[in-house]
Amino acid sequence: MEHLAHAAACYYRSFAVVAAGQGLTLIQGKMLSLLGRPLPMRALAELLGCDASNVTGIVDRLEARGLVRREAAPADRRVKTVVLTPEGEEAVRRIRADIVAGLPGLEQLDDHDRRTLQDLLDRAFPHTTG
Amino acid sequence: MEHLAHAAACYYRSFAVVAAGQGLTLIQGKMLSLLGRPLPMRALAELLGCDASNVTGIVDRLEARGLVRREAAPADRRVKTVVLTPEGEEAVRRIRADIVAGLPGLEQLDDHDRRTLQDLLDRAFPHTTG
DNA sequence: CTCGATGGTTGAGGTCATCAAGCAATAAAT
DNA sequence: ATTTATTGCTTGATGACCTCAACCATCGAG
């Protein structure tokens, strides 16, 4: 049990360090990595588990750095879709690369172990239950 | 890999919800669970991976709620040792109980699976490497 | 005793987080 | 079609977190 706590702490610390290496916050890095495809603000709020008004500020700051762009959705003119700019995509790529580089313990697991770990995590934290 | 991200996110979300259920922040709950034995502020800062000046404020708020107490260390009058009050210990107990209750997926793993998961997490996130 | 290092606090500045209130646009209802 | 309710996003206020620089008190060594 505290093993889980330790693992989660290590993962997030690594993520925070990597994000900080690019002048980003943990939550900003998290948001960028969610933007594999354009998403409306509302969807981001639910994925991040926070208030919509919070997303406004985070996107503001990311937009100010040119990592993200707000686009008006044609179907529903209320929604604003958030899209990664090329610089944003580059940032995501660097974050992913740095993350795996920053978790050397993962590299030492062979394929069988990784599949086992993946399976156990899936069962312990099913995707249906937040 | 994104399985890890998902598991860590689930764990922390659950922790945050449980802590919020007692009017506590995630970081406040984390600090309380670290206080199984008295620790100086400096040690807390390193364990939490944040600045020492940050710990001051968090302990301030916990102390204001009577969950924690600052004690002067006799050996070195500079250091202040943080100690759980009985109410603090009770809060930690409730947090631990609520956490396991809030992760039903963990209950469905048998002993063998749990040992395997524990072993894999230990290897992926060794205790020597923060 | 002086000097440098250490533990903790303070203050300024920025980010995150929630809530209440507001505006614009959609959807539903009579 | 006009009203009504709902939805998506923003704004403002408030509080907690986080870091940095500066500060004070204490310790340790020369």
pLDDT band at A129 (very low <50, low <70, confident <90, very high): very low
Burial of B34 (0-12, 13-18, 19+ CB in 10 A): middle
pLDDT at A7 over 70: yes
pLDDT at B117 over 80: yes
Closest residue by Cα to residue A33 from A21, A50, A15: A15
**Does residue A112 belong to the interface with chain B, where contact is any CB pair within 8 Å?**
no
pLDDT at B107 over 90: no
CA of A115 to C1' of C28 (A): 50
Beta-bridged to residue A40, according to DSSP, are: A81
Q: Return the beta strands (E) in B1-130 as ranges.
A: 39-40, 68-72, 80-84
Mean pLDDT (whole number) for A81-97: 97
Mean pLDDT (whole number) for A5-32: 96
Residues sharing a CB contact under 8 Å with residue B61, sequence separation 6 or more, in sequence order: B28
Asked if strand C contacts A28 at the CB level, meaning under 7 A, the answer is yes
Cα A9 to Cα B79: distance, rounded to the nearest angstrom? 26
Structural domains of chain B, with CATH: 2-124 (1.10.10.10)
Per-residue CA distances from A15 to A98, A100, B62 (Å): 9, 10, 27
Closest nucleotide to residue A25 (Cα to C1')? C15
pLDDT at res. A108? 86
| Cα angle A68, B10, B16; round to 5 | 90
Written as one letter, the residue type at A71 is E
Beta-bridged to residue B80, according to DSSP, are: B72
Cβ A67 vs Cβ A87: under 8 Å: yes
Segment 25-84 of chain A within 8 Å of chain B by CB: 49
Cβ B94 vs Cβ B33: under 8 Å: no
Q: When comparing pLDDT for A77 and B129, which is higher?
A: A77
Cα B61 to Cα B55: distance, rounded to the nearest angstrom? 10
Torsion of CA B54, B56, B58, B63, to 10 degrees: 180
Cα atoms in the Cβ-side hemisphere of radius 13 Å centred on B106: 18
Contact A1 B124 (CB under 8 A): no
- Please give the residue of chain B at the shortest CA–CA distance from A3: B118
Q: Do β-strands B39-40 and B80-84 pair in parallel, antiparallel, or remain unpaired?
A: antiparallel
| Local structure of A35: helix, strand or coil | coil
CA of B57 to C1' of C7 (A): 15
Cα A91 to Cα A33: distance, rounded to the nearest angstrom? 9
Mean of the per-residue pLDDT values of chain B: 94
Cα B95 to Cα B69: distance, rounded to the nearest angstrom? 19
Q: Which residues of B88-107 are buried (b: 16+ CB within 10 A; e: fewer)?
A: beebbeebeebbeebbebbe
